[in-house]
Chain A
Amino acid sequence: MNNEELPIFTYSQPGKIGVNLPDASVETTPLPADLLRQDDLAGLPELTEPEVIRHFTRISQRNYSIDTGFYPLGSCTMKYNPKLHEEAARLPGFAAAHPLQDEALSQGALQLMYELQRDLAEISGFDAVSLQPAAGAQGELTGILVFRAYHRDRGDTQRTEVLVPDSAHGTNPATAAMVGLKVVELKSDARGNVDLEDLKAKLSPRTAGMMLTNPNTLGLFEEHIVEICRLVHEAGGLMYGDGANFNAILGIAKPGELGFDFMHYNLHKTFTTPHGGGGPGSGAVGCTAALAPYLPGPRVRQREDGRYEFFTPEKSIGRMKAFHGNFGMLVRAWTYIRSMGAAGLRKVSETAVLNANYVRVMLKDIYPQAVDRICMHEVVLRGQIAGAPKDVRALDIAKRLIDYGFHPPTIYFPLIVPEALMIEPTETESKQTLDRFIATMRQIAGEAIETPEVLHAAPTKAPVRRLDEVRAARQPILRYDAAAISRLQSES
């Protein structure tokens, strides 16, 4: 992983090119001189194909990835990404089809989307699904816009507040704000659930809805979920389910049956579409029949003659993006559901929960569990090791894990847990891997007591060591600038 590699621009030499293009081979038309750009694309590099391939291959080796190791990053569901899915999405009928070609020429794609809508609805207990949102956060935006439209359509215009637990992902409050709604934060109780008394106190005729992740970000199933949904509904609000943790409950519980009105699926978490170093994802959404008329279009339906067509629901909030969603991700998710089937999906969640609980019981004597309960697909521990100096922090434990060849868990989240270590093993890890991880975590705890300086210095075996993040923000270099980089390198 230590292939140091200069910025690609430094390899540029005039006259090189990395592609073999045809000639125009037609009678030429003069270019409109006054519309041409003036700088001759001076900033673009000039390289041959082998140089480009070597560059991007070398830097790829400076990445950690699921294919190279255990990635127990809580809340992110870093499960194995099946290779079949990559082949499937690259079939020319999927990869080289135009999104606006006639529906008669797109029946395979539409059938796939229709079946994925149907299967996601079945798995989650909802009546309708839209595949359009591109990511979880966009699914949230979709849901809160739908809530707003639903209330307004009923003449209920006073609902301006969205309840969000203090343990929620940052996307939840950020989403409510994007829709112009006020965020009302809810406390968690001692067992890691939403505090019911606080909920009751904050529900009002102003409540548009509540956003809840279940299992929540402590990795715990909300013990009062049915009661919470009932209370919100009684107040006239709607329940939004953040599907980030859906990997815990496939075939275990259906959010639609628990009382949720709307939820997004992170196809890039639960349904194995790769995370891609930050994206693309897919944030498909499901909802009850009452909210279906407001979903974004286009959705797919089957006609009486058996053919498939796009349609936009009658009171749709509109489109969330161009075309039909991140279709390549939909192909992968469809393939996953078809290869697993009902029993396979239940096995996924059972094993994800088994793995997390195994890590939990093997580590909680050293790393206290945030709330001592059976967990779901992930466990939140505290990086507070008895007998270790106070300045050994979750960050140090995380960085030391890198030296042992593991990706760190999510740290400092949820925000309500001090020194949080949020560990999500997923179902695609073996007991052997978990045992190695557990042994390493225990070893690090020993180091924290005996040789804490080793943790503070970690990582030492990664391509780079700890970074000066303050400098990156105070003197930002956000694009290639040879002079700025040279100045940076000459600083002591």
Chain B
Amino acid sequence: MTHYIPVTDADRAEMLKAIGVERIEDLFVDVPESHRFPPLKLSPPLSEPELMAELHRLSELNAHARRYSIFLGAGAYHHFVPAAVDQILRRGEYYTAYTPYQPEISQGTLQAIFEYQSLICALTGMEIANASHYDGATALAESAIMALNVARNRRKIVVARGVNPQYRAVLRTYLQGLDVEIVGDETPDASIADALNQVDEQTALLIVQNPDFLGRLRDLRGLGAQVQARGALLAVHFDPIALGLFQTPAEAGADIATGEGQPLGLGLAFGGPYLGIFTTRQKYVHKIAGRIVGVTKDVDGRMAYVLTLRAREQDIRRERATSNICTNQGLMALASAVYLSLMGKRGMRTVAEITYQRAHYAARRIAALPGYRVLDDQPFFREFVVQCPRPVAEINAALRAQGIIGGYDLSADEPQLGHAMLVAVTEMNSPAEIDRFVAALAAI
């Protein structure tokens, strides 16, 4: 009846007999009779070729990077994904395995996660990383929960305006039951110094993002010490590609550093699955949420990997766990480990350089257009704000007709900037594509 179910009718008859019931329905007598076997109103099933045709049809109703030039970022970036990354992800040994609770037959997953943790530590300069969260937003929210557990009795979180507005929304969702005050992002022009000024003896954590949501690079050196002097922790939300060139969260003195790992070989995927990167200091290892892989030996003395420090987790500690997280983004952590291994130190630096250079090239060209203004008074990395002569929605509609997905419309998040577009440029935007984008803007 279906090609995924290998039990034949003859098997079924034999098995029912062994069980001691006559019909399959007899196995469901515990289900209240009036609720048993409800009809399901679903579309009739499709064969595999029919289904693939329908999937093709649906997928081609979407714009995508093979048909459009993408200058949209705002938390999801069109970076290069080496073919080798997906070839590893397609290995059934990885993607059809469960969480590595049986270490003797899960050394592949465990070693890959250990290497992921190690690569992330190298990239960020931080001391320890866990095996991942759902995405950058939830990693950031978990940083607040961890800080509240470290700085007990402190019930305030200060979050800078420069943190991605969706992330700030998730932070508020996560903490709504916990009697915690979240401040710091009310004023549009608030600087990091302004946010720091709100860190007081009630504050558990200051959260900043670098580069910030508008793409601006901040000099955060010394910030950690200033925050810690007030008895609070500092969390820096970083961009993993920017770390190919720019200051690490460790250099900022961060106690916690979180990131969205999507640019590390994951593709856009209409928003997920992505990768929540979470790192902290060694001294907080018992406060961290989620899974962690460590090294040990087997009884024969062979080096081996294992999930460790498990007493923090929900299946052991239940309501006293550091978080409820169980399933994470393991396969995406593998993808980023493969990506970082392929890139290495030279590749990461190069991708960051091309991104930086092309973004600045695009910004210069756009700034020269009449009616457009680029906010470039501060250094930026990949994204920059363009103030436009007309509403961004209108401009983007015109760009669409030319096969271009324009930048993020800031009118809802940062209305004080006027008709402002957040433009993202990566190594995937060729100079010719940038020129076409600029010409299209000029023609609107």
Contacts and interface: CB of A to CB of B under 8 A. Distances in A.
Interface residues of A, number: 213
B194 to A, nearest CB: 20
Contacts of A101: 62-63, 70, 72, 405
Interface in B67-100: 67-68, 70, 72, 74-76, 78, 80, 82, 84, 86-88, 90-100
Interface string B308-347: 1110011111111101111111111010011011111111
A335 B55 contact: yes
A67 B96 contact: yes
A386 interface: no
Contacts of B64: 92-97
B4 A36 contact: no
B321 A135 contact: no
Contacts of B65: 92, 96-98
Interface string A39-58: 11111111101001101110
A362 B18 CA distance: 8
B93 A324 contact: no
B88 A122 contact: no
Given A91-B55, A138-B138, A323-B271, A479 B321 contact: no
A276 B57 CA distance: 27
Contacts of A61: 93, 108
B207 to A, nearest CB: 15
Contacts of A473: 294, 308-310
A32 interface: yes
Nearest to A113: B270
A188 to B, nearest CB: 15
B361 A27 contact: yes
Nearest to A84: B48
A250 B86 CA distance: 33
What range describes how many residues of B lie at the interface?
Answer: 35 or more
A431 B8 CA distance: 9
7 contacts: A35-B219, A44-B344, A322-B274, A347-B1, A354-B12, A361-B19, A489-B301
A428 B4 contact: yes
A44 B357 contact: no
B398 interface: no
Given A59-B111, A170-B313, A278-B330, A93 B80 contact: no
Interface in B256-296: 260, 267-274, 282, 285, 291-296
Contacts of A27: 361
A459 B92 contact: no
Contacts of A123: 40, 42
A170 B314 contact: yes
Contacts of B353: 24, 31
A478 to B, nearest CB: 5
Interface in A219-250: 220-223, 225-226, 249-250
Interface in B4-52: 4-8, 11-12, 14-16, 18-21, 24, 27-32, 35-46, 48, 51-52
Given A170-B317, A327-B270, A340 B247 contact: no
Interface in A321-338: 321-329, 331, 335, 337-338
Contact of A60 (B38, B91, B219, B329): B91
Given A21-B351, A278-B109, A347-B5, A478 B40 contact: no
B364 to A, nearest CB: 8
B14 A319 contact: no
Interface stretch (B165-173, B183-191, B198-206, B367-375): B165-173
Contacts of B7: 351, 354-355, 427, 430-431
A402 interface: yes
Contacts of B260: 322
A102 interface: yes
Nearest to A316: B173
